[in-house]
Amino acid sequence: MLSNIRNLSPEKLPEKSNNEKPTTEHLLRVGVFDGNGAGAVSVIETIEALKIDKGIEPYPISAADIINGELSQTDVLFFPGGSGSKQIEQFGDE
């Protein structure tokens, strides 16, 4: 996740002016892992907290979504509180 944050160039970050919501093409898409090992309350609270920033488009993402290529449309992947070992088990050995 940190490597994704470091690789964001200034032109990719949403512009903020007068608290107006940026166009969809300028939103920072943040996938919040929602699967086995992620605490349900943590997922909900993380998404709601991210919604405060009008330049962020948070959404839940599952292990199946990630395996099926959803990360190509995601700028940042966030793993909320829970059990990291249970979260990673869903991705298999590959």
Q: Give residue-wise pLDDT tens across range 20-77.
A: 555 556 789 999 998 877 888 899 999 999 999 999 999 999 888 988 998 899 999 9
> For strand 28-33 and strand 56-61, is the pairing parallel, antiparallel, or unpaired?
parallel
pTM of the model as a whole: 0.65
Domain boundaries, the chain: 26-89
Specify the range with the lowest mean pLDDT, choosing from 11-15, 52-56, 76-80.
11-15
Is the pLDDT assigned to residue 91 strictly greater than 90?
no
Q: What is the pLDDT of residue 39?
A: 82
Q: Collapsing DSSP states into helix, strand and coil, what is residue 44?
A: helix
d(CA 59, CA 10): 22
